[in-house]
Chain A
Amino acid sequence: MKAFAELYARLDASTSNNAKLAAMQNYFAEAAPEDAAWAVYFLSGGRPRQLVPVRVLRELAVALSGLPQWLFEESYQAVGDLAETISLVLPQAPHRSTDGLATWVEDKLLPLRGETPQSLAQRLPQLWAQLDRVSLMVCIKLITGSFRVGVSKLLVTRALAAMAGLDSKRVAQRLVGYTDQAHRPSAASYLKLIAAESPDEHAQRGGQPYPFFLAHALSSPVEQFEVLLGPARHWQVEWKWDGIRAQVIKRSGRLWIWSRGEELVTERFPELDSLIPGLPDGTVIDGEIVAWKSAPTGAEKAFEPAVQPFALLQQRIGRKTLDRKILDEVPVVLLAFDLLEWQGEDWRNRPQAERRAQLERVASNCANPRLRLSPLLTGDTWLDLARQREASRALGVEGLMLKPRDTLYGVGRTRDMGVWWKWKVDPFSVDAVLIYAQRGQGRRASLYSDYTFAVWDGPPEASERTLVPIAKAYSGLSDDEIRQVDSIVRKTTVEKFGPVSSVQPSLVFELGFEGIALSRRHKSGIAVRFPRMLRWRKDKPVDEADSLTTLQNLLS
């Protein structure tokens, strides 16, 4: 545990990728395989379900620290991280445990799940007393499932690959699904990650997906595309769908569906089981699962604006059980855009155009209305495509995807072998007033960095109008702007409700968001998707901020 905590401290202390790589390589070289197995799991984003209710953790921490409850809360507000706060207020102990990460996770932490508060109150203090401060903080982060340290999965992959002398794409592939809830890291699974390549590796894949190839955002003006990207005819252009990116795998007579988060989601989409007979074994399709306007009949034309807003799909995903009603109300289809495996063979190294041509044959042979080809857009020039892109909102898509016709399918966000670009339409925007502020977490601890924004419920000429909250946002400002807002918030605070301060309305921000929908849960009657701050409208007085009508007009 101490070795892992030291790795955490080294990763946390550095902003350099090389230093982080070196830290991980050192750790993996020294660690026992069973410990390394769990380290890979946590570093690449794996989280066991919460082991101990946060409430119980807090109560225990308060009791052990001997602090009044309110003072613990004040401290937490200043720190902005529960595990760190607990580690700072508990009595400090020298490190006594010699057990490794695997023993800690498997024998001490996982068994805590489902224990009664009484039993936890006995067991946790004994565990904590064995750990020094950093180990204690890391341990609590593992317990709460909030373990995060600034390394990407790609960096973990590179560290493992460098240590094992493997191609990092191979490691990335082996790592897919490693953090899935259903998989439990073990010495064996770790040794498999770093094992020498074997010729039959490919055949042993079962329901294993490939690492997703991810797109980069393109925000240059269209006039520069010719220079940046070359002629439009070298590119395969598609709509950017607003659904769930998914890999559909058909092998050994079975179907598996993986989401982009590398979560197995087959059971969330029972209707896609109907694809089984139409797809031969050894087929892997990359695409987007979207909600469709009515149960697909196969009679529609190649493309009609039949995609439903993401909000609807989200409602369906949120359900614990999928009953007939919801399946009827929110049917889904798979919009296929890539073919990664065909007849059991890895096709990722073939050019985009070849994969697409084969995908079209697969879809046509499958002849199932739940499998639709994501249509291609044709345009001679970038300007022409830009014009077509303007229809995005009406069609319920987010913009265009640009993929070079001659390149292979990469891994994650690699850019060395061709790049997929997402060319999104500008977000919706509205000028809103900051009315509540809350102190942030982690890097922004103690700073008022999370805000609630409101718009007017009437036009400026209305005699009495009030500000109605519409969205919370915490991203989009520079550190410097956050500091400025923080100082204004402190000076204009009207009232404090725990960590939240209500402020004298004085700041106007342009908020951007991706989608908008009616909502019964929100006071304003409206819910927006991915709200963030586009810019600080220092030029705009509060009276001139937008009203609900502006938002309602966007709904149509």
Chain B
Amino acid sequence: MDLVISRPEGLYCPAGDFYIDPWRPVERAVITHAHGDHARAGNLHYLAAAPGEAILRVRLGQDINLQTLRYGERLLHHGVFLSFHPAGHVLGSAQVRLEYGGEVWVASGDYKTEPDGTCAAFEPVRCDTFITESTFGLPIYRWQPQLQVFAEINQWWQANAAVEKTSVLFCHSLGKAQRILHGIDARLGPILVHGAVQPINRIYREAGVHLPPTIDAADIKKSDPMMRKALVLVPPSAANSSWMRRFVDYSDGFASGWMRLRGTRRRLGVDRGFVLSDHADWPGLLWAIEQTGAERVMVTHGSSGALVRYLREQGLDAMAFDTRYGEDEEDPALAEAELAEVLP
């Protein structure tokens, strides 16, 4: 009997009678992290890692029925030992370790193997079966060290500011934005953020993550000269909104793993693409899978087909799990649809 199976509501643990990141409302939901495709509203009970609590409440409602565990803390539920372990994806993101009848399964949620200083770093967990994501499951996806990417962003910002151009950087409001804030050189100029980013920043700061001061862009007048020197962090979903009208002369960039491909970047039509992802790249996925020591690997979302076939050729028992993850966070098609209309 498998410890986790795929059901129409989501990944399900029959022994414990709970779901992991379900996409339909259920009674008991174990949540790996607060991104919208993993944490949905409407479940009766939530269980998540403690560092993610504040974000979950901001996103799903302060009054959700939420129980939390510290990383590594064990909970026994219907004979299943459950614990959370850092996934290095965003603040509070966790892998879910399940132990039952002497067997160990780990569901990774989304993860990133390079530590970034804004959340607990990914920790490989030994298991028999590993359920891994595969958002960037092709060998063409290999990330440069993040310091290099931050240097590129600094350079771009500096060059824009020199010619009095606002630097508008599209990035996800949860995780990516804070990682950028943590990594860039804040001395280069004022930093403005979209209204969706500011509350998340507050939570990160309260969690002890160092972020430079940020100003809500809505509080600054269009004519304010400071605007022309500023870096502005904007979620892609706002790209199409009237909110963007406050910027007159600006250069735009997009920070995402998808920017690795010229085609994607050019389709978006942004001035600059910065290859910065909160997901594991191909070597990261293979490394993480190896570290778990798992003989069985279930692959969710992304390029699952290629990764499954590759793992099988390496002698692992691999198969694809049909899930609905990846439908918003870094989905290039969505980001494109959002951006396409605002850009010429």
> Does B221 lie at the interface of the complex (its beta carbon under 8 Å from any beta carbon of A)?
no
CB A337 to nearest CB in B, in angstroms, measures: 37
Please list 22 pairs of residues, one from A and one from B, whose beta carbons are closer than 8 Å in the complex, sorted by A's number. A13-B271, A13-B272, A15-B271, A15-B344, A65-B139, A71-B309, A71-B310, A74-B303, A75-B138, A78-B261, A78-B303, A79-B140, A79-B261, A80-B263, A84-B262, A85-B140, A88-B139, A92-B142, A443-B263, A445-B263, A479-B267, A483-B336
By a beta-carbon cutoff of 8 Å, the part of chain A in contact with chain B is 12-15, 65, 67-68, 70-71, 74-75, 78-81, 84-85, 88-89, 92, 441-447, 479-480, 483, 486-487
- Assuming A68-B310, A480-B340, A483-B337, is B264 touching A75 (CB within 8 A)? no
Contacting pair B142 A88 (CB below 8 A): yes
Please report the C-alpha to C-alpha distance between residue A479 and residue B264 in the assembled complex, in whole angstroms: 12
- Assuming A13-B272, A480-B340, is B264 touching A67 (CB within 8 A)? no
Please report the C-alpha to C-alpha distance between residue A329 and residue B269 in the assembled complex, in whole angstroms: 50
Contacting pair A445 B306 (CB below 8 A): no
Please report the C-alpha to C-alpha distance between residue A387 and residue B303 in the assembled complex, in whole angstroms: 57
Interface residues on B, range: 20 to 34
Task: Chain A residues near B336: list those with CB within 8 A.
Answer: 479, 483
Contact residues of B between 106 and 165, Cβ < 8 Å to A: 138-140, 142
Contacting pair A442 B310 (CB below 8 A): no
Interface flags, B243-286, vs A, CB<8A=1, else 0? 00000000000000000111110110101110000000000000
Contacting pair B264 A88 (CB below 8 A): no
CB B268 to nearest CB in A, in angstroms, measures: 10
Please report the C-alpha to C-alpha distance between residue A295 and residue B303 in the assembled complex, in whole angstroms: 61
Please report the C-alpha to C-alpha distance between residue A229 and residue B136 in the assembled complex, in whole angstroms: 55
Task: Chain B residues near A74: list those with CB within 8 A.
Answer: 138, 303, 305-306
Please report the C-alpha to C-alpha distance between residue A74 and residue B309 in the assembled complex, in whole angstroms: 11
Contacting pair B310 A88 (CB below 8 A): no
Contacting pair A445 B139 (CB below 8 A): no
Please report the C-alpha to C-alpha distance between residue A205 and residue B285 in the assembled complex, in whole angstroms: 62
> Does B2 lie at the interface of the complex (its beta carbon under 8 Å from any beta carbon of A)?
no
Task: Chain A residues near B305: list those with CB within 8 A.
Answer: 74
Task: Chain B residues near A71: list those with CB within 8 A.
Answer: 138-139, 306, 309-310
- Of chain B, the residue at the smallest CB distance from A445 is B263
Task: Chain B residues near A445: list those with CB within 8 A.
Answer: 261-264
Please report the C-alpha to C-alpha distance between residue A65 and residue B140 in the assembled complex, in whole angstroms: 10
Task: Chain B residues near A79: list those with CB within 8 A.
Answer: 140, 261, 263
Among the listed A89, A443, A480, A483, which residue makes an inter-chain contact with B139, where contact means beta carbons less than 8 Å apart?
A89
Contacting pair A442 B263 (CB below 8 A): yes
> Does B313 lie at the interface of the complex (its beta carbon under 8 Å from any beta carbon of A)?
yes
- Assuming A68-B313, A71-B306, A483-B337, is B140 touching A78 (CB within 8 A)? yes
Please report the C-alpha to C-alpha distance between residue A79 and residue B264 in the assembled complex, in whole angstroms: 9
If A71-B138, A74-B138, A442-B266 are given as contacts, then 14 extra A-B residue pairs at C-beta distance below 8 Å, sorted by A number, are A12-B266, A15-B344, A65-B139, A71-B139, A71-B309, A74-B305, A78-B303, A81-B262, A85-B140, A442-B263, A447-B267, A479-B267, A483-B333, A483-B336
